[in-house]
Structure 1
Amino acid sequence: MTDAPTPPRIGPNDILRFVLEIFAIVTLGTWGFTRWTLPLPGVIIGIGAPLLAIVLWGLFRSPRAVFHIDVFGRALVEIAVFGAAALAWWDMGQPIVAAVFALVATVSGVVNGRKELA
């Protein structure tokens, strides 16, 4: 009799990281549509910025990433996506949201990085 594979454990930080990813993608879309003139380049940036973030995340950072890179490469992709979202909030005139998002994303990233390196 074979043992069924155990499902991966999903902890509170994993849920927080998923919420941060969604928040970053929505932020980049909001930034593109609100900070750039419509219809062009606002529509292109409003769709392109979150799409680029999704593609980068899917290729390098997701649990089922297409390209498997080391933990430091994955951290750079995460910093790029979350950093772009924090800078977008700063550019939209919301420095408190930018700072809180950056702080929460950094703490979550450090906790996740320590787990990946263990």
Structure 2
Amino acid sequence: MNDATPAPLKIGPNDILRFLLELFAFVSLAVWGFVDFELPWPGVLVGIVAPLAAIALWGLFLSPKAVFSIDAFGKALIEIAIFSAVAIAWWLMGQPVVAIVVAVVAAVSGIINGRKQLS
């Protein structure tokens, strides 16, 4: 008899952390647009376009079901760009501690994920 049950999905602590970092990045970019720019324009525009651009990049290149398949180094560059933008956004909003914490946590999580992908 053919058993077509898929193998159980292995989700580790770093996978959960990376998901939370993604959500935090998207929300942070929206907050940055609304807080750091004059409302209604360009604040609304930046507050909507910045997270949408990050979501599009993540969905196209970094998600588990990415549209485009690129190597681990290309993925790392896109991830660095997104999280650098988030850290810079927090810095520009006058929150250097949050900026540094986000940058360090994202870097460590990215390194752990990159090592896993390359092994």
What TM-score do you get using the length of structure 1 for normalisation? 0.97
Cα distance in structure 1, aligned partners of 2:2 and 2:110 = 36
Q: Which runs of 5+ in 2 are unaligned?
A: none
Tell me which amino acid in the other structure corresponds to 1:113.
Answer: G
SS in 2 for 1:74: helix
Cα deviation for residue 2 of structure 1 reads: 2.5
For 1:41-85, what per-residue CA distance to the aligned partner results, in whole angstroms no more than 9, with x for missing partners?
Answer: 100000000000000000000000000001111111111111100
Cα distance in structure 2, aligned partners of 1:13 and 1:57 = 17
Cα distance in structure 1, aligned partners of 2:25 and 2:90 = 10
Correspondence for 2:16: 15
- Of stretches 57-66 and 1-10 in structure 1, the one that deviates more from structure 2 is 1-10
- Of stretches 4-13 and 63-72 in structure 1, the one that deviates more from structure 2 is 4-13
Cα distance in structure 2, aligned partners of 1:14 and 1:2 = 31
Cα deviation for residue 8 of structure 1 reads: 2.1
Q: Which runs of 5+ in 1 are unaligned?
A: none
Correspondence for 2:52: 51
Backbone CA RMSD of aligned residues = 0.7
Correspondence for 1:66: 67
Tell me which amino acid in the other structure corresponds to 2:2.
Answer: T
| Alignment length (residue pairs) | 118
Percent identical among aligned pairs is 65
Correspondence for 1:97: 98
Tell me which amino acid in the other structure corresponds to 2:96.
Answer: P
SS in 1 for 2:64: coil
Cα distance in structure 2, aligned partners of 1:21 and 1:28 = 11
> Does residue 4 of structure 2 align to residue 6 of structure 1?
no
